[in-house]
Amino acid sequence: MPHLHLRTPASWAQALVPHRSELLVEQAQLEKKAAAGALAFLFRYPEERAFLRPLSALAREELSHFELALELLERRGIAQRKLRPAPYAERLVALIRGEEPARLLDQLLVSAVIEARSAERMHVLAQAMADVDAELAAFWAGLVASEARHQALYLELARGRFGAAETDARLAQVLAHEAELLMRSAGLPRLHDGPPLSGAPCA
Ligand SMILES: [Fe+2]
Ligand SMILES: [Fe+2]
């Protein structure tokens, strides 16, 4: 796991427990987005042969997560709807430089960091949910290992393409920025938002 500069406290997840139905709607949305993100690399960089099979598999896995969320939503009679997204992803994407090949490196790193943060927060959510809603706790806990693997894959692809030194130097910048923007919460019940976090990022 890349060393996230900010650890999500249990209190963050506890505050979101009453919003779990909305979080589940969002989770379906996030899984679709994650699949689309992996596919976007395949469209944009068809010449990157090392990317093709792993990212195709990753997209399929994200869609299987989408279907798991869908099943829970349907079983619980929760209607899917479009939710206002957390500003998190858009703010991270703003870090991506415009010119190639820096653009490719940044896109891989932003994807890796989003996967890492997702895994971290799903784990905290699962713990907070354990006594309240065992089924949802198991759902989130069951996704953690996959999302952690996804972040490892994006990092591996970046290191394979750009080398460890360049990748890790840029990763440190992305991680620092990520921690900073996570502190600027919009107060929405979302995986990458939620109640404002207090305290300074722990480096
Ligand atoms: Fe996923
Ligand atoms: Fe993922």
pLDDT tens profile 111-169: 999 999 999 999 999 999 999 999 999 999 999 999 999 999 999 999 999 999 999 99
Q: Which residues surround ligand 1, an ion (CB under 5 A)?
A: 31, 62, 65
- Confidence at residue 201, expressed as pLDDT on a 0 to 100 scale: 54
Nearest to 179 by CA among 98, 97, 116, 125: 116
Task: Identify the nearest ligand to the CA of 31 by its number.
Answer: 1
pLDDT tier for residue 3 given thresholds of 50, 70 and 90: confident
CA 27–ligand 1 middle distance (angstroms): 8
Distance CA 92, CA 96 (A): 8
Percent share of the chain, pLDDT over 70: 97
Q: What confidence tens digit (pLDDT) does each residue in 122-134 have?
A: 999 999 999 999 9
- Ligand 1 center to residue 73 CA distance, Å? 16
Q: Are 81 and 50 in contact (CB under 8 A)?
A: no
In angstroms, rounded to a whole number, what is the distance separating the alpha carbons of residues 164 and 55?
A: 20
Q: What does the pLDDT average to over 8-21?
A: 95
Q: How many whole angstroms from 133 Cα to the centroid of ligand 2?
A: 23
Q: Which domains does the chain have, with CATH numbers?
A: 18-79+93-182 (1.20.1260.10)
pTM (predicted TM-score): 0.95
**Does a cis peptide bond (omega within 30 degrees of 0) precede residue 46?**
no
What is the 29 CA–ligand 2 centroid distance (Å)? 12
Please give the pLDDT value at position 203.
47
